[in-house]
Structure 1
């Protein structure tokens, strides 16, 4: 006869003595193995039991979470546990989420026990709903709703569907600071990440409420006051109020300003293993200055770096402020240098392609040497300049059992350093582009550069192969080789009517002058052949008549470069400058000289590598000497187009050529022996872009032109000398994407001072070509 467990337990409790059964049976098990169930209840056949022991067994079974009901009864001297198992989760679906990724939600649900194959526990659903809504509230989605639907499935399973309505982000209508007396609200909130709803901006989410963003703004407020000497400043409270429809947010921050403190005295204490004046040089705050926490932080970093350069890598510097009654403060910098530290071993990780030797030869911090802060940072910078790695991190790790040794772990994240591509593209300036190229800046992981390129446009065919070894010797002397062939047909473009074939080879050697500077020497042998078209310009005919149409030249070059760029293909910090002198030696058919200067500089505006300011400039000057009166016309500089002054046609600026009276051609850009171009760019992130290492957007201002110091007699469209009034300017927006196949670049530019006869282009782009 079956009796519910509660009644059964009551009866044996009244009898007040233990009973013995021949066997124990558990009915209803589907998911839990019977062996585990018997382990849980804790007793077996022919074992005596009483009400306490049965109650304990039932409780243990319930605690496993597998069962929704348990009955116990005795049948034919057999103790029977009849159980009803809870269903398992057979299907779990999440719908409607966009703001929070599905994998992130699934990870959180798994931690709560909600996963396919797990036992379904209804009591956890309310907790999950509350937790999901809490996450959306923290993101400012106060109208978010979470509903959970449970459906029965065959074989004692349950399907769960979590439906999420993320709602709209609540907008910040007003930020009010209460209690401020010495600073107005505009000053206090100007650096806030949160902004009040104002003019519409599709790229800004500053007016969207988020709890984490407000907490960061409160810390910004605290830093502002502490940087202005308000040591007693306190945020009393902060309140967030919602409108009835949960779409508008009102924020109130209550503060107590206190009074600003000036510095009364600055002292040093602790052990000073270096000259005291070196430490004092790092202390910029003096008596009478207003206290500033950010300045104190810089001083601590400066002292630590100063001692770190003498091997005291783990120097501990603390500042103890002593507030006085007259709102002044004494600052005591306590210095605990610890022992000098030496580097036992340097290890490299993350460089699956790049050989360890390539990294090790950039290290200025050596094994067995005194560990110094400046050499460790210099090593990091040198590795970053290689351009092979997206991220470089140098970590010091104390050696167990010693107090004066560390291991230096160099952790890198490799990025693409080359490409193999076949491309079909189109450029407004060059027409159809067919190209094949192999370029590897880290060939076989050796750090050497190998490239082969073959391209063809409507006007040119260009083939080249080059190889450069930056460590031809262990001292950093580089050696490079280049072979090239180029043919140009200008009959159908905006330059003029002639063909030019060039073939040559060159070798160069580079010598390091300093950590960032290099001096290079090169020699190139080149043959150039000019074939005049049906109606060439007077300038071209004049040069060919005086110098011939075939030239064998020997060109010597001297290049000085100084580069400290970081960030690979799209730099984010640093500078580069290159000055070049090329001389066609008298042993060849032409004698000319070309001087070039290229320079660029990046400024990181907020330390995030996203907001950058860039200045770029290029200067060039060429002239003939000896038997060559002028710079060869095919060596002239040109300006205009995507490569220089955007918004103007490619190679369309500068002096114009001339034609005979009977010619049907109109004047076109002649080029010049003097080049002046410059660019200023504000680089900023687009909110919908995640990979800013391969995508870049910038507002730009371009300016420049080409000039000549020699015009052919009778050419009225050519003026000699530099005229600043002839500089052309443009503003616009550029967007660049380094795709896995080929670079893609768009430019939208508006000329600011175009003149009659200038060719202008509002939209310019390149696809499948370099830029």
Structure 2
């Protein structure tokens, strides 16, 4: 790229003009008129303002020089000629071309919009005057940005082509090159800790560190700076108050592909705590503050512990209304490697809430948010109530982000406004789907599910689906605030029909129709106690060759049942994150009893619990445990537990890698039957799952996509086997628990949830049905 030598032209032109003026007339002359020829881009009024000449004004060579210099400084002109035409002073200018076209190619790491924004700030955009001197600066800045990303072989070429009508076309061609790899990281000067200990939390890794989804061995300046900060924090958390990073060097190989990092440190010696003191005005008892100070004399100094203590003291005073407490620690280092810590506390005045403002809730009504607030307007502002309010709103599951901000009220020192800023996420769907499930075959469905119906916080759900074996229709409505005290009320109506002739259960048809109502009562912020009653009719129609277990139940209990089922459940839910939680736990225990007023008498006790652990505070690396237990038992005139109320295990929702509902005891048939035994189910259920959830590097939206490796385990058992059934053992047989491991991938699509499971059974036995690949589309509502 060759840039015009503008300054050389400028000097020649100015020198020639001055020599002419001096040789022709060495004294001041009077301007009768001034004319500027050649203007196209610059308005004439601005050009006259720049040169500063007026009619009948005297001039000399110096003043002409100043005018030429001022015109050149505008950046509009590539050539200026000044001459006298009779009594008129003429400035003949040649304007630089404007930018008629600007293209950027070859960039992937840095978005085109970001590059264009930077070019605009430099004055390089279509319609602006082309200034060649800025191109070198742009090339250097782009290369600097790529160097910071570890792309030391990146190249930036800029070509300039003339266009008609005094315009020019600029093309920026970027070769981003390859990211330089970190070949070696070394720390020099460390005596008390080895290299492995110091670098174990580094984001930067040497080439050879195996992780198929990681770019840890790719050098980036920001990443190395973050690692150096981690190194400083490590030493400060271990008492090394005199620690310092002397220097850090990054060396490149000749081909700019290998990076060598050397960090020189001075460790110093560790300090222990000598004495602790409280200073300042304490509006609460000292005992409450000292309870927050977990350090004691003789402990090794830790900056992270000091930071936590400062936060805890601020929280303690914040619970008494002192939201703007200022807590500092003053360390005094002594020669004997001890440090005295003095906590300085300035509480400020008590603060009251003037107003609570909601923003970002375009769909959700303010009332839905306001009723979750435990901090009220006009009351003393307390830290715990503000944080509890935030947590309650997060638990609604309607929002992907919730921030609570306190803003001082202008003109006062004791009032704040609380602004609740939310970012809404999808809380339901309307879908008409045609899908396929490995377990259920073709799936036809239509449904409306809205957990935040019309922004009221109420839940409405209608679902109609049909598979090869079943048809399900259900409608439900739940109001979590039926009363202002948080008592909920819900209704449900359902109709289910299934034909098990073609699946792994056995040959019978089952129809259920019913309706129910339930009420829930809040016990605490996370716990509820619910009561419900469901009335349903169940009809069983036996197929051509049913199992002995099915026939036995029908013979004693009949094939049509009108039941009244009472239920009581306790739940404790503190999950955060909506459809794909990122932290918290949930536990639900439910007891269902078919009351004596109905045709059957039985009970079912179920327990489901799960918990998420955030492994690195990023909401991307998570560990999850989930377990489910169930037990059913008949009583009264019902001799055996209803076979159609049995629990089943195996498949996508319990133990992946095994066929749906295929685990546990098997049924039996008469000697002349051609049927083979299939899963009977059982009145005892035990399943569990452990998952490590991790991010995929090519995925940007981790709020709707989740990948995990898992281990599943479980089965079903029975405490009642029909006489003569050799494939049924009574009671829990631990050696019959099946295990599997695999990889799962879930995507919450705009149409319906999509899940894939790749799993391998770990202890399958002869006769088990295995299923290495399972997926569902549109089956979760």
Calculate the TM-score normalised by the size of structure 2: 0.97
Question: Partner of 1:491: helix, strand, or coil?
Answer: helix
Matching residue within 311, 314, 323 for 1:304:
314
Matching residue within 74, 92, 108 for 1:64:
74
Matched-pair contact (CA < 8 Å) for 1:308–1:314? yes
Residues 581 and 341 of structure 1, relative CA distance in 2, 3 Å threshold: same
1:114 and 2:119 matched: no
Give the match for residue 193 of structure 1.
203
CA distance in 2, matches of 1:201, 1:448: 45
CA distance in 2, matches of 1:552, 1:40: 97
Give the match for residue 111 of structure 2.
101
Q: Give the Å deviation of 1:231.
A: 0.7
Give the match for residue 291 of structure 2.
281
1:147 and 2:157 matched: yes
Q: Give the Å deviation of 1:4.
A: 6.4
Structure 1 window deviating more from structure 2 (107-116 vs 198-207): it is 198-207
Give the match for residue 85 of structure 1.
95
Give the match for residue 367 of structure 1.
377
Give the match for residue 452 of structure 2.
442
Question: Partner of 1:60: helix, strand, or coil?
Answer: helix
Matched-pair contact (CA < 8 Å) for 1:5–1:73? no
Matching residue within 527, 531, 539 for 1:529:
539
Give the match for residue 327 of structure 1.
337
Q: Give the Å deviation of 1:46.
A: 3.8
Matched-pair contact (CA < 8 Å) for 2:395–2:578? yes
Question: Partner of 2:502: helix, strand, or coil?
Answer: coil
Q: Give the Å deviation of 1:7.
A: 4.1
Q: Give the Å deviation of 1:155.
A: 0.8
CA distance in 2, matches of 1:97, 1:561: 52
Matched-pair contact (CA < 8 Å) for 2:655–2:739? yes
CA distance in 1, matches of 2:577, 2:553: 45
Residues 368 and 239 of structure 1, relative CA distance in 2, 3 Å threshold: same
CA distance in 1, matches of 2:44, 2:611: 73
Q: Give the Å deviation of 1:16.
A: 4.3
CA distance in 1, matches of 2:13, 2:478: 88
CA distance in 1, matches of 2:299, 2:192: 18
CA distances 1:298-329 after superposition (whole Å, capped 9, x unpaired): 11111111111111101111111111111011
Matching residue within 23, 34, 40 for 1:30:
40
Give the match for residue 599 of structure 2.
589
CA distances 1:518-563 after superposition (whole Å, capped 9, x unpaired): 0111111101111111111111111111111111111111011000
Give the match for residue 28 of structure 2.
18
Give the match for residue 347 of structure 2.
337
1:709 and 2:719 matched: yes
Question: Partner of 2:533: helix, strand, or coil?
Answer: strand
Question: Partner of 2:501: helix, strand, or coil?
Answer: coil
CA distance in 1, matches of 2:636, 2:529: 27
CA distance in 1, matches of 2:69, 2:539: 98
Residues 278 and 762 of structure 1, relative CA distance in 2, 3 Å threshold: same
Matched-pair contact (CA < 8 Å) for 1:354–1:446? yes
Give the match for residue 83 of structure 2.
73
Matched-pair contact (CA < 8 Å) for 1:316–1:335? yes
- Structure 1 residue ranges without an equivalent (≥5): none
Give the match for residue 611 of structure 1.
621
1:407 and 2:417 matched: yes
Aligned-residue CA RMSD (Å)? 1.2
Aligned length: 769
Matched-pair contact (CA < 8 Å) for 1:265–1:329? yes
CA distance in 2, matches of 1:690, 1:281: 44
CA distance in 1, matches of 2:268, 2:477: 67
CA distance in 1, matches of 2:328, 2:297: 19
Give the match for residue 290 of structure 1.
300
Q: Give the Å deviation of 1:59.
A: 1.7
Give the match for residue 692 of structure 2.
682
Give the match for residue 558 of structure 1.
568
Q: Give the Å deviation of 1:625.
A: 0.8
Give the match for residue 215 of structure 1.
225
CA distance in 1, matches of 2:499, 2:54: 98
Matching residue within 135, 139, 154 for 2:145:
135
CA distance in 1, matches of 2:441, 2:428: 25
Give the match for residue 167 of structure 1.
177
Question: Partner of 1:438: helix, strand, or coil?
Answer: strand
CA distance in 1, matches of 2:757, 2:32: 90
Give the match for residue 670 of structure 1.
680
Q: Give the Å deviation of 1:44.
A: 3.6
Question: Partner of 1:637: helix, strand, or coil?
Answer: coil
1:158 and 2:172 matched: no
Counterparts of residues 478-627 of structure 1 (less than 5 Å): 478-627=488-637
Question: Partner of 2:229: helix, strand, or coil?
Answer: helix
Q: Give the Å deviation of 1:61.
A: 1.3
Matched-pair contact (CA < 8 Å) for 1:4–1:73? no
CA distances 1:425-454 after superposition (whole Å, capped 9, x unpaired): 000001000001111111111111111111
Structure 1 window deviating more from structure 2 (447-456 vs 54-63): it is 54-63
Matching residue within 756, 759, 777 for 1:749:
759
Give the match for residue 9 of structure 2.
none
Give the match for residue 272 of structure 1.
282
Matched-pair contact (CA < 8 Å) for 2:151–2:180? yes
Give the match for residue 651 of structure 1.
661
Question: Partner of 2:385: helix, strand, or coil?
Answer: helix
Q: Give the Å deviation of 1:54.
A: 2.2
CA distances 1:251-298 after superposition (whole Å, capped 9, x unpaired): 111111111111111111111111111111111110111111111111
1:254 and 2:242 matched: no
Question: Partner of 1:610: helix, strand, or coil?
Answer: coil
CA distances 1:709-762 after superposition (whole Å, capped 9, x unpaired): 000111000000011111111111100000111111011111111111110111
CA distances 1:3-31 after superposition (whole Å, capped 9, x unpaired): 96644444544644432343222111111
Matched-pair contact (CA < 8 Å) for 2:284–2:317? yes
Matching residue within 51, 72, 78 for 1:41:
51
Matched-pair contact (CA < 8 Å) for 1:654–1:707? yes
